[in-house]
């Protein structure tokens, strides 16, 4: 099976979560809990797509902290 590039606009906020987004949020959670938010920001900054760094970092951290609030 070959990988085909996605054509068209990026999915909006109501779109299904992609495995890469779910994975980055899980990874962010683990890094934040083990070595802190600064380290998680550094990793996300390194792996985020060019032009989407700030959005990717904030989205992942927002997911981590919204889940934390839900557990309280």
Chain segment 3-53, per-residue pLDDT in tens? 555 454 555 555 555 656 667 778 888 999 999 999 999 998 888 888 999
Does some domain include residue 10? Answer: no
| Tally of domains in the chain | 1
CB atoms within 10 A of CB 68: 12
The answer to the question of residue 41 being in a domain is yes
- Whether the pLDDT of residue 72 is over 60: the answer is no
pLDDT band at 63 (very low <50, low <70, confident <90, very high): confident
Q: Would residue 55 count as lying in a domain?
A: yes
**Residue 26, domain member (yes or no):** yes
User: Which of 45, 50, 57 is closest to 21 using CA atoms?
Assistant: 57
Q: What is the pTM of this model?
A: 0.62
23 is a domain residue: yes
pLDDT for residue 66 is more than 60: yes
Interacting residues of 39 by C-beta distance below 8 A, sequence separation 6+: 31, 32
6 within some domain: no
Domain that holds residue 66: 19-71
Tell me, yes or no, whether 4 lies in a domain. no
- What pLDDT sits at residue 38? 95
């Amino acid at each position: 099976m070959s990988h085909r590039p996605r054509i068209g606009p990026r999915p909006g906020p109501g779109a299904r979560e992609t495995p890469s987004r779910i994975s980055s949020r899980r990874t962010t959670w683990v890094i934040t809990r083990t070595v802190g938010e600064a380290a998680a920001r550094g990793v996300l900054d390194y792996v985020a797509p060019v032009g989407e760094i700030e959005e990717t970092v904030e989205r992942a951290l927002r997911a981590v902290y919204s889940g934390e609030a839900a557990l309280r």
